[in-house]
Structure 1
Amino acid sequence: MRVPGRRAWAVRLVLLAVALLLTVVVVRLVGQVDWGEVWDALGLLTWWHPLVLLVVLLVRQVLNALPLALFIPGISAYQATLNDLAAILMATLAPPPSDLALRLAIFGSWGVPTVKAVAGALMNTLTFYVVRFAAPAAGFVLLLMLGRAPGPRWVELLSIAISLAILAGVLLVVRSEQLALAVGGGAGRVVRRIGREVDPEAWARACAEFRGEIVARFRRGFPQSLVALTGMLVADLALLVLSLRFVGVDATEVGLAEIAVAYLFAYPFTIFPFCGIGIVDALVLAGLVEAGGSEVEAAGVAGLVVWRVFTVGGPVLLGLGALGVWRRRTPRSASAS
């Protein structure tokens, strides 16, 4: 497997720079933050609040990893969660494909053939991307229920279109081997036209092999994975709502529906490094201020800080524990292979 080089690091840094730039723009639109009030809001946290958030975080991570168990034979939800947490840790420390390399090493130590592990991990990623980019669709539904005009939301419409394109591609690949060959070869030719040295025939064969590995579990596993990842979004939203409520953003100021709309429209930007930290937070904060006025700004920032501590820092710490559990329970020769 190719070792991440300078190009991977450069792409990561460029994406992070874009995220920071967009964050500055959005925060300037929101206004100046009173950090003294933010600190006072954080002081409202009590000892049991982190325990509640930790429980919701664990539910979130299990649901996030569940597609691995659904697509890879012989893998339990517990094993999938350990694998996913360790991969999240690696993805935070190093650019791709370091996380995939660790995933395959862990699956290999459990006796999963590499080809099945790769297919399951890829299907997990594709399913997540379908849900990630479809999130704004639920936001539009909520706006309709609230009786509010959506306004010019071209980015959100583009996000939904990307989700539908991925979904259509997956369904075509699974439908037949001929379609899998056609999709793989067509994608290879498109990539070659934009300057990458790829072999469309190799892409076609890889796509057909991928289909052969996941087709038997697709009819049952794909719908269940969509449900699991939708549940993950609900758990993530619950973490955000609880974080905001714990630091003083009252339901009379910003309702659950308003928080959900801001979250769902911002969620596709988690594609940026570190789950879109900065840009997602700024967009959510803008939605909170739009709904509740400038009075909720400081508490909103405090709630977002708590939310990020758990949703970004929490999985990393859990990943350290998961990696430690795997290494303790796996023979050294297997973990090194």
Structure 2
Amino acid sequence: MSLAARQVRNLAGWLIGLVGAVVIAVWVLPSVASYAEMAATIEALSAWELIGLLGLGLVTIASAGFATKLTLPGLTWGKGTLATLCANFLTAFVPTGVDLAVRFAMYKSWGFGARQSASAVALAGLSRYVTLLSLPLLGTAAILVSGRGDEQTPIRLILGSIAFALLISIPWLLLRHESLAKRIALRLQRFVHLLARIVRRPAPPRIAERLLKTHEQIVTQARDRWPSVTVSQLVATLMNAVVLLAAVRFVGLGPDLLSWTEVLYAFALGTIAAVIPLTPGNIGVTELILLGVLGLGAANMESQILAAALLYRIFTWMLPVPLGIASYLFWRYTSRSRAQSK
């Protein structure tokens, strides 16, 4: 597929997702919750509650930046936060993968080598992968321990644990077995050479060798930094759940209606669903999931739940967008200034 065709396909997918978001916002959500009641609930919040949500949102951003800092020795917390904000902004609006390229470019512009930058991006992706897989387990286990589950909850936990082990084994095998990595690198090299012959362009030299050197560096980084990076990534992700819990409490849904374990479970499902966004930023879809899951424990409270979901999205998704735009423009400006001064 040509670059132009791929761009057209991505644009078409984005537009279809945008239409889906409009349909959900205009027809689906109003059919299950009152926008007027939702607005009244939000308007009833005090200034201190809004400031509290803003503070939690900023702490969430800072914690994600700290997790990024740990992926690359020598990277400052500030630059880690800058890279995280840019990546989050791009992930919200453009196809998946662009954020990785921008992270790589940012690291290189700050003086880090190509392999070092690639290793940091890969390590961040690995920790994110493990974190996402662990969220449903954490949510289900919390539901089970709190006694709020049903007879199917232990079964879901067992099946989830098996799936977690199987999915974790994939990157583990790639990192632990050099022979497997070598076979994959050689096959990828043959594939690239085949494509080069088809398009009549010279193939990049020593693809397998360069991939294996990068793999070796990733293994070293993962061995030394993977535990701390994964824990920090998990903490940063769970900070989003704290924002959701605070929003739920601020709109008047107390522990007697929704326990923190139910909020965590709903957050886990919403986060997993966002991995493959059906709409730009998963607008509408995340709100529907939160409304559906939390509505099971708080019947006839749909407007309050939707208000909490909207507040959660404002301070975890909308807040980073303008900050991400500003971060991206700042990085481009400073990079251009450094290039001109050389």
TM-score exceeds 0.5: yes
Alignment of 1:128-207 (within 5 A): 128-147=128-147, 148-149=149-150, 151=152, 163-184=164-185, 207=211
SS at match of 1:271: coil
Give the corresponding residue for 1:279: 285
User: Structure 1 residues 206 and 293 mapped into 2: Cα distance closer, same or farther (>3 Å)?
Assistant: farther
User: How much identity, in percent, do the aligned residues show?
Assistant: 23
Question: Is 226-235 or 114-123 further displaced after alignment?
Answer: 114-123
Residue 227 of structure 1, aligned match among 217, 224, 231: 231
Deviation at 1:224, TM superposition (A): 1.0
Deviation at 1:62, TM superposition (A): 2.9
CA contact (8 A) 1:38 1:299 kept: yes
Q: Normalising to structure 2: TM-score of the pair? A: 0.79
- Structure-2 separation of matches of 1:155 and 1:9: 37
Question: Is 156-165 or 173-182 further displaced after alignment?
Answer: 156-165
CA contact (8 A) 1:71 1:221 kept: yes
Question: Is 244-253 or 132-141 further displaced after alignment?
Answer: 244-253
User: Structure 1 residues 34 and 318 mapped into 2: Cα distance closer, same or farther (>3 Å)?
Assistant: same
Is residue 106 of structure 1 aligned with residue 106 of structure 2?
A: yes
Code of the residue aligned with 1:92 in structure 2: it is: A
- Structure-2 separation of matches of 1:282 and 1:93: 20
CA contact (8 A) 1:172 1:183 kept: no
Map Cα deviations across residues 191-231 of structure 1 (whole Å, 9 max, x no partner): xxxxxx9x9xx986565233222222212311112111211
- Structure-2 separation of matches of 1:158 and 1:268: 16
Question: Is 315-324 or 206-215 further displaced after alignment?
Answer: 206-215
Map Cα deviations across residues 283-331 of structure 1 (whole Å, 9 max, x no partner): 221222211211x211111111111111111111221232344345445
CA contact (8 A) 2:65 2:80 kept: yes
Alignment of 1:234-313 (within 5 A): 234-273=238-277, 274-294=280-300, 296-313=301-318
- Structure-2 separation of matches of 1:189 and 1:146: 53
CA contact (8 A) 1:173 1:183 kept: no
- Structure-1 separation of matches of 2:113 and 2:101: 14
Please, which runs of 5 or more residues in structure 2 have no aligned partner?
A: 192-197
Map Cα deviations across residues 144-184 of structure 1 (whole Å, 9 max, x no partner): 21332264999998876665445322222222432322455
Q: Normalising to structure 1: TM-score of the pair? A: 0.80
Give the corresponding residue for 2:74: 74
- Structure-2 separation of matches of 1:19 and 1:210: 40
SS at match of 2:296: helix
SS at match of 2:290: helix
Give the corresponding residue for 1:208: 212
- Structure-1 separation of matches of 2:210 and 2:288: 40
CA contact (8 A) 1:244 1:300 kept: yes
CA contact (8 A) 1:23 1:279 kept: no
Deviation at 1:13, TM superposition (A): 4.9
CA contact (8 A) 2:67 2:236 kept: no
CA contact (8 A) 1:129 1:163 kept: no
Please, which runs of 5 or more residues in structure 1 have no aligned partner?
A: 191-196
User: Structure 1 residues 133 and 10 mapped into 2: Cα distance closer, same or farther (>3 Å)?
Assistant: farther
User: Structure 1 residues 203 and 288 mapped into 2: Cα distance closer, same or farther (>3 Å)?
Assistant: farther
User: Structure 1 residues 70 and 163 mapped into 2: Cα distance closer, same or farther (>3 Å)?
Assistant: farther
CA contact (8 A) 2:141 2:157 kept: no
- Structure-2 separation of matches of 1:110 and 1:16: 35
* RMSD of Structure 2 on Structure 1 (CA): 3.9
Map Cα deviations across residues 230-287 of structure 1 (whole Å, 9 max, x no partner): 1122210110011122222222222212212222233210113344332222122122
- Structure-1 separation of matches of 2:38 and 2:178: 57
Computing the radius of gyration over CA atoms, which structure comes out larger, 1 or 2?
Answer: 2
